[in-house]
Structure 1
């Protein structure tokens, strides 16, 4: 484990930043009249996030869980990592609703479900009305807990079985819905299960293969890997609706695992290593906050459907700037405080 502990996977961090940018561009382009169609497959970034999550969670926790780390400790760690920005995103979403004059008879139930990261079913739209991105966080937490709870039975054979069964289900889902953009709404919610489990457990298996050195590692310059990932999203977006489902599956099944593998073996040296870490740190705030932040600007810039190029650029700049400010002056301090209080509680009571 000596090499693993020194390897920071800066390129994987950087790719999280690239992927979060494509999610932002995807939603901006879909909702505005300035459509280039270059980013219409940006939803695939979520599948990339799931795969990265499997790789990173296995890297960080698999050995600890096997050595006896309690499930509650793992859960609390994940909550501290993810929840502070969930709370802010929910409050910003509610504020945006108020500013945009939206009236919902069940607004408190919607807000409460959003805060608890639970789907709100009485909706024909997104199951997370105040911040649509939370649908993937719900599945992320579910698969994280399932993995941690069953780790002692997750042999390589079982993980491969989960991957294969999930892949078969995802093929069926993609064929029915013409893409893998699934899990975010009531009509396709349950298809989010194979979408999540395939990519997450593929990431877990990639980590195991990496750790055991069963496959040769591939190293490329980080700019090639980052540009390659961007090119993949752009190329996938160029497919028509008839071919999109097949293109989505090809990218998720074959291209993303290769990208993760190459990125894991590649390095960012010198000052660029800090850039990779910074992009990785900013990726989650951009992803979870971009919906509510965009909605907050609607009273000033007009509805998204009426926004032109300069308004779109202003929205993108505002999202990145606000995400950075909230990361540095809210999220990181709050997480540091919670970790400190947790350690104090553990030292006093001897529990997690």
Structure 2
């Protein structure tokens, strides 16, 4: 099998697990799950995604980018991987705002926030359509809040392919320069701008640093292929410990977390130990396949469930949502019942992800792959089988 066609199954399973952690992080309930560190720090999965993306994209395309035709093919394919599902989920949120507008006009039923207002206003909608929602600074995350990372990832792809094509044989030094510059910038932001919103520039710097950390990690992976010390069960246990410790404690500096994820991905990338074998079981591989759909769909499911709870508490005259002044949590029963609700939520998210993967994500990807061939000419497939999300 060619280098670019190898799949990293264990890393794909980790991606699925990380997607579930993000989903649970956003679903706030007054249960035992809510305060569990691995879930409370579930948003740390996004920097992990950035590093993994840089790793697998480099694996899939490192030998396939040599001219402008290759560059356009890369951009079209990456756009086709991200945009169809993003547009679909964004359309659902727009439909919800239209429904809100119609209810207010026809039956006088008003929500706490008017239609197309606040984080779902027209300006941010236009930015979302052009994948600019975390590139053009906004004070808050907008519409499908999780999609901020898709915005930064797409423009990081453009930076990556521009660097590779413009620097030629010096692309390695260029990657190191971007890695160092973005790392220094991220440390500065974490130190002096700790309250900066992800949509106000912080997310873009995180993505660039994480992606190029993953890129350089893959180059290191190639150089250490014959080094037994970084392969096998012991190395994978060390990588698992790194992952768990990062999610448990979530160190303040995102730079440190990204470097930690880079080490864990490197140690798992050889997949020759017992832990990797366990991660290759079908349910985890299935979650890995659904990970992008889980990531983009879960916020919609979460938003709908909370909207239902708000309507229900108005009808029942009983509080179903508790607030501490900052965060809202579903709270209409004992902690065990709320945890059961969280598991039900995950089941709904996975079911929705199955639908969007089969009918939106995969058809969209295939359409843009075919389009890239028609526009740039026929060439041997690139990026196939390399879990290049």
TM-score (norm 2): 0.74
**1:160-309 → structure 2 map (5 Å cutoff):** 160-178=176-194, 184-185=198-199, 189-213=200-224, 216=227, 217-220=230-233, 224=237, 228=241, 231-237=244-250, 244-246=251-253, 248-253=254-259, 255-266=260-271, 268=276, 272=280, 274-302=282-310, 305-308=328-331, 309=338
- SS of equivalent to 2:201: helix
The question of 1:133 aligning with 2:146 is answered: yes
Aligned length: 330
Structure 1 contact 166–198 (Cα < 8 Å) conserved? yes
Q: Provide closer, same or farther for how the CA distance between residues 149 and 261 of structure 1 changes in structure 2, counting only shifts above 3 A.
A: same
Whether the 8 Å contact between 1:163 and 1:197 is mirrored in structure 2 is yes
Relative to structure 1, the CA distance from residue 209 to residue 227 in structure 2 (aligned partners, 3 Å threshold; closer, same or farther) is: closer
1:275 and 1:311 mapped to 2: Cα distance? 21
Please state if 1:114 is matched with 2:114.
Answer: no
- CA contact 1:10–1:273 (8 Å) conserved in 2: no
Alpha-carbon RMSD: 3.2
CA change 1:110–1:252 in 2 (3 A) is closer
- Could you report, residue by residue, the CA deviation over 1:185-219 in whole angstroms, capped at 9, with x for unpaired residues? 3xxx2233432222111111111122244783423
Deviation at 1:96, TM superposition (A): 3.5
Q: 1:326 matched to which residue of 2?
A: 356
CA contact (8 A) 1:26 1:42 kept: yes
Query: Is contact 2:139–2:197 with CA below 8 Å preserved after alignment?
Result: no
Structure-2 separation of matches of 1:76 and 1:110: 24
- The whole-number CA distance in structure 2 between the counterparts of 1:193 and 1:112 is 18
Q: Where does residue 241 of structure 1 map in the other structure?
A: none
Aligned-partner SS, 1:150: helix
Structure 1 residue 69: Cα displacement: 4.2
Contact 2:22 2:295 in 1 (8 A): yes
Determine the C-alpha separation between the residues in 1 that align with 2:137 and 2:202: 18
> 1:249-308: per-residue Cα shift (whole Å, max 9, x none)?
43222x211111011111555993654542222111111221122112223234682514
1:131 Cα deviation after fit: 0.7
d(CA) in 2 for partners of 1:320, 1:11: 20
Shift of 1:150: 1.5
> For 1:245, what is the secondary structure of its paired residue?
coil
Instruction: Report the alpha carbon displacement of residue 220 of structure 1 after superposing the two structures with TM.
Output: 2.8
Q: In the alignment, what sits opposite 1:17?
A: 16
With 337-346 and 42-51 compared, the bigger mean Cα shift is at 337-346
The two structures have a TM-score, normalised by structure 1, of 0.81
Q: Distance in 1 between matches of 2:232 and 2:2?
A: 15
Alignment deviations for residues 73-103 of structure 1 (CA, whole Å, 9 cap, x no partner)? 2111111111110111101222334556442
Quick one: distance in 2 between partners of 1:346 and 1:272? 36
Instruction: Pick closer, same or farther for the CA change 1:99–1:227 going to 2, 3 Å.
Output: farther
Of structures 1 and 2, the larger Rg is shown by 2
Residue of structure 2 in register with 1:95 after alignment: 95
Q: Structure 1, residues 143-163: CA drift from partner, whole Å, max 9, x if none? A: 111110110425333322222
Q: Distance in 1 between matches of 2:182 and 2:277?
A: 37
Moved more, 260-269 or 76-85: 260-269
Measured against aligned partners, the alpha-carbon deviations of 1:37-93 in whole angstroms (never above 9, x if no partner) come to 522322221111111111111111121113664322211111111111011110122
- Find the counterpart in structure 1 of residue 41 from structure 2: 41
Q: Which deviates the most, 82-91 or 193-202?
A: 193-202
- Counterpart of 2:383 in structure 1 is none
- Which residue number corresponds to residue 59 of structure 2? 59
5+ long unaligned stretches in structure 1: 238-243
Q: Distance in 2 between matches of 1:313 and 1:99?
A: 28
CA positional deviation for 1:346:
5.8
Question: Does the Cα contact within 8 Å between 2:217 and 2:262 map onto a contact in 1?
Answer: yes
Check conservation: 1:25, 1:42, Cα contact below 8 A: yes
